[in-house]
Amino acid sequence: MIILSPIGKLYGLMMDARNRLYDRGVLTSHAVGARTISVGNITTGGTGKTPLVALISEILLDAGETVCILTRGYGRAEPRERVLVSDGQRILVDAATGGDEPVELATRLGGRAIVVADADRLAAGRWAKEKFGVTAFVLDDGFQHRRVKRDVDIVCVDATDPCGGGRVLPAGRLRERFAELKRADAIVLTRSDLINDTSEIEHHLRSRNPRGTIFKAKNSVSRLIDLEEFHAETQRGEAVKASPFVDRPKAVAFCALGNPNAFFKTVDRNFAEAGPDAARLLFGRALRDHHSYTQADIDGICQTARDAGAEFLVTSAKDAVKLKGIRFSLPCYIAEAETDVDDRDAFRRLIVGGSS
């Protein structure tokens, strides 16, 4: 990627200039009318942000707030249109219309949170505030979206790849210079359980942001559920119920996530922790992030799995919302990831603020 370094430097300078304009008040951040928690990334690709957005939304819902998640809804059919994914009671659209991550979030929360997909999140937030009486917003993927004013700015940093190659896009995976972590009120070090020691990373983060709180988080498989049952519960707008790990010996996983290897490692670890008689993961098949599945894709995955001796498939909830209506020749189960933060009491105080 050395050949792309000059482009990355230019992009980095442009981001620096934009940030300075916001820092000096030349460009202005605007409030959406209620407490706003931003959750974002400093790098591209999957950092485990979506389970954290779900956790934050659950904390706010449990505190009695009327919660709205504001998201761009990447990969949806009409990206310029505003789509109400969930009205706080039921899920209204499919993944093609609303985007895979917005529909996944609505599903995780059992339709309890309002979810709006709109590139103009400021206008979407003000609209949702007026229409639904929203009392708390969660701004999904909001660290670089400085047009919306936030009360708490949280950044996810993946412990398995914290610096994104050390270069700004397109030479590396950094969306802006790592030094911009100084803006964050809190940093959540995701997938901290997948490395042996986080002390060096924490020291590096602290050197960039002496004031913010650093939380460590890990993902685990909270439930494993049959794909058909998953879609049946989703259709009714109910929370997906937990199911035990299936009693079959061999599995193949597939997904279209930003960090597929992290998903495969999480599934493999959860199978291993279930005991010596539990299923084991043979291998994982990764597709491009946000991939839209076809019947031919699934036929090929099933054939490859059968050839390897697998008896069932495992995928993620983000993938599951795009698989409705597709036929499987092997049983398919959804491994839904759940985020656990090391100091949940302190994290809850950060999220609810004065409303606790």
Q: pLDDT tens, 95-105? A: 999 999 999 99
Q: Architecture of domain 219-338 in CATH?
A: 3-Layer(aba) Sandwich (3.40)
Question: Do the domains 219-338 and 2-218+341-355 match in fold?
Answer: yes
Topology of the domain comprising 2-218+341-355: Rossmann fold (3.40.50)
pLDDT reading at 310 higher than 50: yes
Q: Which two tokens stand for residue 205?
A: 């983060």
Fill in the DSSP letter of residue 7: H
The better pLDDT of the pair 222, 178 is held by: 178
> Between the CA of residue 254 and those of 7, 9, 15, 118, 227, what are the distances in Å?
34, 35, 35, 29, 13
Residue with tokens 């993938």: 319
Q: Which pLDDT does position 355 carry in this prediction?
A: 45
Average predicted confidence (pLDDT) for the chain: 89
Domain ranges of the chain: 2-218+341-355, 219-338
Share of the chain above pLDDT 70, in %: 92
| Separation between Cα atoms, residue 232 and residue 153, nearest integer Å | 36
Peptide bond into 79 cis (omega under 30): no
Residue 236's φ and ψ, nearest 5 degrees, are: -85, -5
pLDDT of residue 74: 86
Least confident of 68-77, 206-215, 233-242, 267-276: 233-242
Whether the predicted pLDDT of 234 surpasses 70: no
Residue 218 reports pLDDT greater than 80:
yes
* pTM check: above 0.95: no
